[in-house]
Chain A
């Protein structure tokens, strides 16, 4: 086999194994999809209660779009974050059961194990996206149904889910116990959420918080969603920059995750 062929085969094998891991998670979801619906309760409450109230009081400057429109992409990003950030719990749980051991002993590249998990988080994220879009329709949010834009939304949701679930996996591999993870999970999600443009624009933030927001990948997730999901939606950084940030951050985290993942069993 030539050099190039060998590499092609490795790349093919890597992609294949990644998809097998994602398939595993998809099969679990198919056996028990109830989780998808229970997870939809929280974003529904945000949209219905918080969204409706703040649309009425007009307390937050959102340019020429209603507040409910402004926050819908933010709530999608939030629910992607909340689902993904607790992926670490599942990793610890699987470690306690010995499932992780079996995967690690199989001839599967570590990065494929991590990326496969990340993609499956994307699957859950997509299900959330679907539910939130339906809710938004009912609330008469001005959604953009252009096919290309919808495709972009799907890509952004998968990327965001992959990014935060891999981050969560890395945290799990460091803290190693469920109790500690639960504590840290809470401590991480709230700042990530509030130090972003999810439910208010960055322009009204104090300057220290602006800096933090610009370092927060969730900001770019919200930005791209806001541009693509809404009719006449605008982006502060541009779709290209948003995508670049999300892809780079995910790539870096997957590489770190591949190094950390085997340590969870030690």
Chain B
């Protein structure tokens, strides 16, 4: 059984369609990436899958539970790191994790061990008892991932897990995400604007554009589909799949597409 399955999942905000008839299947153990420019509908998709936002129409299930009618069961299976930095800055890192360990019903006998273990896994032992307001952005991100892995949930949603991090911190987060999958078999569903992130990390990616999936496959498959040999980058793949609808002809097209996408990716 697929761990995530969506069926014409759709969400409108007034007249705007943020997610448009999304059909996705994610298997257990994947690191699945949703790539797309600002406003593509990535966060809206995650919010629906995490039961925060009811869909306008369509269906989705997580580990066999319907996101709408069995939301309490869904919440027992998933962890979520929002796009915004959401750790409580007025508590210590340890306390942040402790509270969530309790909310997720970790037995008292294991709590301390798991919390310290997760902090250690993310390289945060030394700062564990400092208030989070003294952490760097990278440390907060790692703390949030530590929090979401405490409970060994089956499925983790990470909304732009490396946004605002420098390359070294980003790489550290990537490594931790991969370790998490390899050691605990956690399925990861993440979003990103960064092509190299998707390339490095994901077993499969979906390119999202204007609420629709423009292409889906492993990074290698997508590059192959562009059909220009080995050295195509995912950036080019992205342009290939999302620039298609505006056909301006000639060489000029490639340039304007590149510009357009570059602007979106900011």
Chain A contacts to B: CB under 8 angstroms? 13, 16-17, 20, 23-24, 27-28, 31-32, 96-99, 101-108, 262, 265-266
- A13 — which chain B residues lie within 8 A by C-beta? 105
Check A107/B105 contact, CB under 8 A, given A31-B131, A98-B82: yes
- B88 — which chain A residues lie within 8 A by C-beta? 24, 28, 99
Please measure, in the bound complex, the distance between the C-alpha atom of A105 and the C-alpha atom of B75, giving whole angstroms.
6
Please measure, in the bound complex, the distance between the C-alpha atom of A105 and the C-alpha atom of B105, giving whole angstroms.
14
Number of interface residues of B (CB under 8 A): 29
Beta-carbon contact of A107 and B72 below 8 Å: yes
Please measure, in the bound complex, the distance between the C-alpha atom of A99 and the C-alpha atom of B52, giving whole angstroms.
13
- A32 — which chain B residues lie within 8 A by C-beta? 90
Beta-carbon contact of A102 and B91 below 8 Å: no
Instruction: From A17, A24, A97, A266, give the contact of B91 (CB < 8 A).
Output: A24
- B12 — which chain A residues lie within 8 A by C-beta? none
Q: Does B99 contact A (CB under 8 A)?
A: yes
Count A/B pairs, Cβ under 8 Å.
73
The 5 nearest A-B residue pairs measured at CB? A98-B86, A98-B84, A98-B82, A105-B80, A20-B102
SS class, residues of chain A in contact with chain B: helix
Instruction: From A28, A108, A266, give the contact of B103 (CB < 8 A).
Output: A108
Subset of 27 A-B contacts with CB under 8 Å: A17-B103, A20-B103, A23-B99, A24-B99, A27-B91, A27-B95, A32-B90, A97-B84, A98-B82, A98-B83, A98-B84, A98-B85, A99-B86, A101-B86, A102-B80, A105-B78, A105-B79, A106-B100, A106-B104, A107-B72, A107-B75, A107-B104, A107-B105, A108-B103, A265-B47, A265-B52, A265-B53
Beta-carbon contact of A20 and B99 below 8 Å: yes
Given contacts A27-B99, A105-B51, 12 further A-B contacts (CB under 8 A): A31-B90, A96-B84, A98-B82, A98-B84, A98-B86, A99-B88, A101-B82, A102-B86, A102-B100, A105-B50, A106-B100, A106-B103
Beta-carbon contact of A31 and B82 below 8 Å: no
Please measure, in the bound complex, the distance between the C-alpha atom of A13 and the C-alpha atom of B103, giving whole angstroms.
10
- B95 — which chain A residues lie within 8 A by C-beta? 24, 27
- B104 — which chain A residues lie within 8 A by C-beta? 106-107
- B264 — which chain A residues lie within 8 A by C-beta? none
Check A102/B99 contact, CB under 8 A, given A27-B91, A28-B91: no
Please measure, in the bound complex, the distance between the C-alpha atom of A105 and the C-alpha atom of B88, giving whole angstroms.
16
Beta-carbon contact of B91 and A101 below 8 Å: no
Check A101/B52 contact, CB under 8 A, given A27-B91, A32-B90: yes
- B75 — which chain A residues lie within 8 A by C-beta? 105-107
Please measure, in the bound complex, the distance between the C-alpha atom of A225 and the C-alpha atom of B174, giving whole angstroms.
57
Please measure, in the bound complex, the distance between the C-alpha atom of A28 and the C-alpha atom of B90, giving whole angstroms.
6
- B85 — which chain A residues lie within 8 A by C-beta? 97-98
Please measure, in the bound complex, the distance between the C-alpha atom of A27 and the C-alpha atom of B90, giving whole angstroms.
9
- B171 — which chain A residues lie within 8 A by C-beta? none
Beta-carbon contact of B84 and A105 below 8 Å: no
Beta-carbon contact of B52 and A104 below 8 Å: yes
Would you give the shortest CB distance from B155 to chain A, in whole angstroms?
11
- B52 — which chain A residues lie within 8 A by C-beta? 101, 104-105, 262, 265-266
- A105 — which chain B residues lie within 8 A by C-beta? 50-52, 75, 78-80
Chain B residue with minimal CB distance to A96?
Answer: B84
- A97 — which chain B residues lie within 8 A by C-beta? 84-86
Among B52, B85, B104, which residue has the most Cβ atoms of chain A within 10 A?
A: B52
Chain B residue with minimal CB distance to A20?
Answer: B102
Beta-carbon contact of A266 and B53 below 8 Å: yes
- A265 — which chain B residues lie within 8 A by C-beta? 47, 52-53
Q: Does B260 contact A (CB under 8 A)?
A: no
Would you give the shortest CB distance from B135 to chain A, in whole angstroms?
14
Among A32, A105, A108, which residue has the most Cβ atoms of chain B within 10 A?
A: A105
Q: Does B259 contact A (CB under 8 A)?
A: no
- B100 — which chain A residues lie within 8 A by C-beta? 102, 106
Q: Does B76 contact A (CB under 8 A)?
A: yes
Would you give the shortest CB distance from A231 to chain B, in whole angstroms?
40
Please measure, in the bound complex, the distance between the C-alpha atom of A74 and the C-alpha atom of B91, giving whole angstroms.
34
- The digit string for B64-102, where 1 denotes a CB below 8 A from any CB of A, is 000000001001101111111110101100010001101
Would you give the shortest CB distance from A46 to chain B, in whole angstroms?
29
Among B76, B83, B103, which residue has the most Cβ atoms of chain A within 10 A?
A: B103
Chain B residue with minimal CB distance to A105?
Answer: B80
- B50 — which chain A residues lie within 8 A by C-beta? 101, 105
- B99 — which chain A residues lie within 8 A by C-beta? 20, 23-24, 27
Among A13, A23, A106, which residue has the most Cβ atoms of chain B within 10 A?
A: A106
- A107 — which chain B residues lie within 8 A by C-beta? 72, 75-76, 103-105
Residues of B27-57 contacting chain A, CB below 8 A: 47, 50-54
Would you give the shortest CB distance from A228 to chain B, in whole angstroms?
34
